[in-house]
Amino acid sequence: MTAGPLDGRTVGSSILPTSAYTDQAVFDTEIREIFESQWVWAGYEHWVAEPGMSRPITVAGRPLLLTRDETGTVRVFHNICRHRGILLSEEPSTRARLRCPYHNWTFELDGALCGTPYWNREKASSPDDGTREQLGLLPVHHTVWAGMVFVHLGSPSGTAEELLAPLRERWEGIDLTRLHLAEERRYEISANWKLVAENFLDFYHLPMVHPQVGSAAAALDVDDLTLTDQIIGGCYPRGANGKATGKAAKTAVPLPLLGDVPEKLRDRQDIFCVFPNALLFLEADWLQVIGLEHAGPGRTVEHMAIFVDEAAAAAEYAEARASLSKVLYEVNDQDVPILERLQRGKTSPAADRNHLVPHWDQITARFQNLVAKALT
């Protein structure tokens, strides 16, 4: 565990004021300066598991459309009809073409405009090819990695691959192309998205709020890690085996590992936030992702997905998958009331006089610094 000055400072008060967790004006600035200007988690690849599927998603309050076209390519568009700007799709769909409900223009899942009935007042008329080409759905910069879809709503200065490279490197030997969705759950939480991320990075509370995952002594085993400015978290080098209850507490039958995992990675537990809104928890045999949908100053939607190796999809692992999910859900269920209580605490200006502890809250300070930097 790293200690010392708190992210370059010697005082321990919170870097972000209480208002950063409650004010609409701060929320609006975050949308502009963070969620519209950086790579952000936007959804899961399995939401469009098969060609011909599409699903509306929301990033920074903007309606987007996630699709998988007939060639199997995952795409992201603005979910807006190019005629009058109506919201194009409201529900997940398995239609190969999406029809606008207003004047029945239709779009392919690769974004191409196809049907334009009565374009020139004749039934089957259509625009010239140049006009048609210009009126496809508007694409959004995106990338797919480890079952997740990341988008950038602005003009990215670097690629998502560059952003994620240190994590790919750290996890080299873990085959993330083998991910199989074990379970997924959605949580609506009455708390600011930053509290959810800070709590995910808070290793201090583990023995108090989640005593079933290990003792205080086990929690001391964590190392803070800053892979890059935007990838921060920690690692239990001895993994669940270094904790009091051991790995057997999660699954009685061991799950197959994610590929041919090298020995040095087998027991490790990695916990990272890819700033701002992807929370990742990896062991050699499973990956938990919590993607945060930034829904309001005091409202966050968590999209939690639990992935295992594709070999663990077999029926013989059904119980092990269920038992892993049960453990991870139990932890999250314990966090929800804490998060909502933290949010209620932030309604008092007295919460500005809180005190981050250098021995535990370095990563929280780092997270808050990232937000503060973006907002100024």
Binding site residues, Fe ion, CB under 5 A:
335
**Whether the Cβ atoms of residue 245 and residue 271 lie closer than 8 Å to each other:** no
Largest CA distance in the chain: 77
Picked from Fe ion, ligand FES, none, the partner binding residue 81 (CB below 5 to 8 A depending on kind) is: ligand FES
Least distance in angstroms from the C-beta of 117 to ligand FES:
9
Return the number of the residue (90 or 330) whose C-beta is nearest ligand FES: 90
Q: Which residues contact residue 304 at a Cβ distance below 8 angstroms, ignoring those fewer than 6 apart?
A: 184, 185, 186, 187, 288, 289, 290, 328, 332
Residues near ligand FES (CB under 6 A): 81, 83-84, 86, 100, 102-103, 105
Return the number of the residue (168 or 326) whose C-beta is nearest Fe ion: 326
Picked from Fe ion, ligand FES, none, the partner binding residue 335 (CB below 5 to 8 A depending on kind) is: Fe ion
Return the number of the residue (105 or 150) whose C-beta is nearest ligand FES: 105
HSE (side-chain half, CA atoms, 13 Å) at 236? 27
Picked from Fe ion, ligand FES, none, the partner binding residue 53 (CB below 5 to 8 A depending on kind) is: none
- Type of residue found at 68: R
Least distance in angstroms from the C-beta of 86 to ligand FES:
4
Percentages helix, strand, coil for the chain, rounded to the nearest 5? Answer: 35, 30, 40
Return the number of the residue (11 or 216) whose C-beta is nearest Fe ion: 216
**Whether the Cβ atoms of residue 298 and residue 343 lie closer than 8 Å to each other:** yes
Least distance in angstroms from the C-beta of 339 to Fe ion:
9
Return the number of the residue (302 or 335) whose C-beta is nearest Fe ion: 335
**Whether the Cβ atoms of residue 252 and residue 327 lie closer than 8 Å to each other:** no
Q: Identify the residue whose tokens are 């699903």.
A: 55
Picked from Fe ion, ligand FES, none, the partner binding residue 84 (CB below 5 to 8 A depending on kind) is: ligand FES
Return the number of the residue (285 or 335) whose C-beta is nearest Fe ion: 335
Picked from Fe ion, ligand FES, none, the partner binding residue 105 (CB below 5 to 8 A depending on kind) is: ligand FES
Helix (H, G, I), strand (E, B) or coil at 251: coil
Least distance in angstroms from the C-beta of 250 to Fe ion:
16
Residue 123 gets which letter from DSSP?
A: T
CA separation for the pair 20, 347 (Å, rounded):
11
Residues, the chain, total? 376
Picked from Fe ion, ligand FES, none, the partner binding residue 306 (CB below 5 to 8 A depending on kind) is: none
HSE (side-chain half, CA atoms, 13 Å) at 51? 7
Least distance in angstroms from the C-beta of 214 to Fe ion:
12
CA separation for the pair 114, 119 (Å, rounded):
12
Return the number of the residue (84 or 344) whose C-beta is nearest ligand FES: 84
Q: Indicate the residue whose CB is closest to Fe ion.
A: 335
Least distance in angstroms from the C-beta of 27 to ligand FES:
30
